[in-house]
């Protein structure tokens, strides 16, 4: 069962670019909540709280409990806008979820037992993660914060495909329903490129001009 994550929010009455700028100067982040049978609602959050939460995987792939004066709504983060160069979050979009309706979202992959695998122990083998996250479909109550990919038996030449990932109960990968071409590689183990040093060759003696050779013989 996923760990609950509660985030306190406040309703905001003023909207528009000017109001959003004032909120950011005051250390808050403007946001909107939409979806379900309710109308979109404009809210604001503490920037410090949001910034700390944004450093964790669960903020992007877990069901969040938005608490507005005790009224809790379950949501997924759908969009996050960052300042191009400052450590500042500018805006957030949250989508309401229903317990009995499947959701589709991306979750991170965590690779385990890489170092102890046959491929990981070989000095000349490179293990490459082709994907760092996958899109899944499930009910909100079955949503995992991440999915583990066990590399314990990975050997050189092996490829782990999307269909080989062990999924938690109730979780599906929609991409696999689109045919074999969508069963893409997730992890590849192969020999690293070996650079062959060019063979040393003896430098041939330079040709001596005939006129100079003749003078040397005199």
Identify the structural domains of the chain with CATH numbers, from first to last.
5-96 (2.40.240.10), 103-191 (2.170.120.20)
- 160 burial (CB, 10 Å; 0-12 / 13-18 / 19+) is buried
Distance of CA 205 to CAs 3, 11, 199, 216, Å? 77, 87, 18, 17
pTM attached to this predicted model: 0.76
Place 15 in a pLDDT band, splitting at 50, 70 and 90.
confident
- The mean per-residue pLDDT over the stretch 177-197 comes to 83
The span from the CA of 137 to the CA of 170, in Å, is 9
- Residue-wise pLDDT for 124-147, tens only, equals 899 999 999 999 999 999 999 999
Does pLDDT of 211 surpass 90? no
| 195 vs 114, more confident | 114
**What's the whole-number mean pLDDT along residues 167-186?**
95
């Amino acid at each position: 069962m996923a760990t609950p994550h509660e985030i306190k929010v406040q309703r905001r009455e003023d909207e528009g670019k000017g109001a959003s700028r004032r909120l950011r100067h005051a250390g808050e982040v403007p946001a909107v909540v939409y979806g379900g049978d309710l109308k979109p609602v404009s809210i604001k959050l503490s920037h410090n709280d949001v910034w700390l939460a944004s450093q964790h995987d669960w903020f992007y792939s877990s069901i969040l409990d938005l608490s507005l004066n005790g009224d809790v709504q379950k949501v997924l983060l759908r969009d996050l806008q960052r300042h191009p160069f400052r450590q500042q979050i500018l805006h957030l979009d949250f989508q309401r979820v229903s317990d009995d309706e499947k959701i589709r979202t991306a979750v991170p992959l965590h690779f385990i037992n890489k170092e102890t695998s046959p491929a990981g122990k070989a000095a000349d083998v490179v293990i490459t993660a082709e994907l760092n996250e996958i899109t899944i479909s499930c009910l909100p109550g079955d949503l995992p914060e991440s999915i583990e990919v066990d590399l314990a038996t990975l050997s050189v030449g092996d490829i782990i495909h999307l269909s080989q990932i062990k999924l938690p109960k109730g979780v599906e990968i929609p991409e696999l329903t689109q045919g074999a071409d969508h069963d893409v590689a997730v992890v590849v183990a192969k020999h690293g490129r070996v650079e062959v040093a060019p063979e040393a060759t003896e430098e041939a003696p330079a040709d001596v001009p005939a006129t100079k050779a003749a003078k040397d013989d005199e």
